[in-house]
Chains A and B, each alone.
Chain A
């Protein structure tokens, strides 16, 4: 098992290097030329900005040295300064991070919380009306664009029914504090979390259904049923235990979708999170911020997948013996 973990960590490190190389390659594609051949007339860049980019990315050095220096800066959490307001990028990201993390954690929890019972109910009776209906609904839901869902939710639940605020994190110019403030924020976050979670519900519920249906057909479950155990006991003691392992791996793969979803959801609902920061930076052509966030999203996804993989190895000893999955 230790060998498996070490192997996964080693390949993970190689992939992490690949992620950093991809980001670095993006940087090398910038038209802001190192030697100023594309002068200050470049899109929206002043000579000072070009100078600061040149210093930040060591553009006067040869390629390999540039990469190593850039990597060294990144590892020291020195992501440069924003071209827009000259503040350190790391600081800008740190202020926005808690909101996006909250949003994504809530969405992931909601997605798993809904998907597991829905999928389990379908798996118990494969081919039943409920199974076919949830299966079709999941496929349909999976095809609904996030921004359409967001606009529709705003139209029906906010504009028509007035149940939830249209956007923002709390009422404008509002001075509430403590519990009251927490309640207001929670109220504002209901629609964004729904919006972020429904894709995961659709995806995960089908996955739960398929893995559970497989383990329900398996010998452990048949034996337990033959001993007279109730369906509930069979499900909780046997089927879920087998299905939990692949589900865990999947949670790692839902991460990139959630991060991309935050970009859209935070824009629709005007929430000051990382996604909003990213979109603003794209519009401001704020290269250091865009690249830092690209690198962070790639690294976060990789770590998510890696963590899921390591947990998989712990929970399912077969995986560590290198049997094909």
Chain B
């Protein structure tokens, strides 16, 4: 078995990180990448960055955004156009540019995914840590709750919560509301991993030495055990991101996610479904974006796991 080389990242981890970074950058920069507003307008008397629309008149030279359309821009003269030089990824049933909708949609899908993982960490890490470290009644309580919630499929739980829409959640903005709903199932794997790690490290020499030196529980937990336990917990959090992206899109696909004008990858697929016999590009590209981001998260999680514990995965 090859010895672990901490300086070199395993291939799948690197590939996953690159893919996710690229998709994230596209989503973050969406308002500048996909906009009808020109980037630079050069006129006889000088030039302008991001001018207002009327400034285009009398321009000598215009540099446009790579996708010169807004995500909601309806063009009934260009309905269901196949990919071409004008519309790189084609247009939908209302003549909206698919590429523009795709990069904007990534903001919701990736944003909700990351937000869910953060919420799941915020809930699951302390609970799992307390259960593993203190044991006894705390552990019994957390473990029973985890076992019970584990029985509900994530999608079923999310759909039930959406039906009920508890009053405190109704006030939240769409993305945060969805992320909170997804985090109700999302914290469980994080808590399980955290519990296991803290249970293992509780009786480690490092923790015992710290306690012998007079450190309180909180100090031992946060300063000594947490740093060693964090990496495996982050692995589970990156599976949570993948799962949350899938669930968010599933909800959007069913028509229950973020409200309509906002494009999301799930909604794009739902819209594609009505044109399945004529417009293949509508189904292909949003699904591809979704697949790549989920794949990237899974690669990162698997890669991290191999990197931390070479025995677990590869032969």
Contacts and interface: CB of A to CB of B under 8 A. Distances in A.
A186 interface: no
A22 B298 contact: no
Interface string A186-230: 000000000000000000000000000100000000000000000
Interface stretch (A74-82, A110-118, A137-145): A137-145
Interface residues of A, number: 58
Interface residues of B, number: 49
A contacts with B: majority SS: helix
B161 A139 contact: no
B269 A278 contact: no
A294 B156 contact: yes
A239 B291 CA distance: 35
A19 B163 CA distance: 18
Interface in A108-133: 126-127, 131
A282 B256 contact: yes
B contacts with A: majority SS: helix
Contact of A144 (B147, B160, B255, B291): B291
B162 A282 contact: yes
B280 A147 contact: no
Interface string A248-289: 000000001101100110011000000000110111010100
Interface in B110-149: 144-145, 147-149
Given A145-B291, A151-B287, A260 B153 contact: yes
A257 B154 CA distance: 9
A68 interface: no
B283 to A, nearest CB: 5
Q: Which of A127, A298, A301 has the most CB of B within 10 A?
A: A298
Q: Which of B164, B170, B256, B269 has the most CB of A within 10 A?
A: B164
A152 B249 CA distance: 16
A155 interface: yes
Interface of A: 11, 14-15, 17-19, 21-22, 26-27, 29-31, 43, 126-127, 131, 139-140, 142-148, 151-152, 154-155, 159, 166, 213, 256-257, 259-260, 263-264, 267-268, 278-279, 281-283, 285, 287, 290-291, 293-294, 297-299, 301-302, 305
